[in-house]
Amino acid sequence: DIGNVLLTQGTLKISPLGILRAGHSLAGLIFLAGATGATTPVNYWACLIRVSDRKIKAISPDLGSAAWGAGSTKQFNFNTPYSPTVDEMVVAGIMMAGAAAVPNIIGMLSAGNLASIAPSLLGDSNTGLTTPLALDTVVTAWGGGSKFAWCYGF
């Protein structure tokens, strides 16, 4: 079921990506806003998280007050591309804070009990965030999600 995933101010939203193969790299992520874009955002950024230890392995700069219109994509380029030495399961994180209106992101309702299968690949993680976290920060365990945002790694 295609739908919208609403971001929560200052909360890191987690969405599944899959297996990043050894020697392959990701330079960033692309998300698609739904019917609501961001109104006067203050902070927003995205990151790549390794599932096995919940460490941030790549992160974008803070896009600050850059516009993000309804129905448009937003590209988050990582400060440094990430290339693992072994195959790794990874998830995407996105965070926005200080906006008069946060965008909804095009996504899907998870099928059946997908949200309850370990390891969890969607939900909410750290709260109270503004600026990007540091590389190798261990984020809090995520969960509680029934929808996940579509995003594309490049």
Residue 146 has pLDDT above 60, yes or no: yes
Q: What whole-number distance in Å separates Cα of residue 144 and Cα of residue 154?
A: 27
Q: 119: cis peptide before it, omega within 30°?
A: yes
Residue 119's Cβ-count burial label (10 Å; 0-12, 13-18, 19+) is exposed
Residue 18 has pLDDT above 90, yes or no: yes
Q: What whole-number distance in Å separates Cα of residue 70 and Cα of residue 76?
A: 17
147-149 vs 2-6, strand pairing mode: unpaired
- In which order are the strands placed within the sheet that holds 2-6? 2-6, 104-109, 147-149
Q: What whole-number distance in Å separates Cα of residue 80 and Cα of residue 41?
A: 24
Residue 96 has pLDDT above 80, yes or no: yes
Residue 116 pLDDT: 61
The percentage of residues in the chain with a pLDDT greater than 90, rounded to a whole number, is: 68
Compare 95 and 146 and report the one with higher pLDDT. Answer: 95
Residue 75 has pLDDT above 90, yes or no: yes
Q: Which two structure tokens, joined as six digits, stand for 113?
A: 């009990």
Are 128 and 43 contacting, i.e. CB atoms less than 8 angstroms apart?
no
Q: What whole-number distance in Å separates Cα of residue 114 and Cα of residue 98?
A: 31
- Over the stretch 123-134, which tens digit does the pLDDT of each residue have? 899 999 999 999
Residue 43 has pLDDT above 80, yes or no: yes
Backbone angles phi, psi at 56, to 5 degrees: -70, 120
Distances (CA, A) of 78 to 47, 50, 59, 75, 112: 8, 15, 5, 10, 33
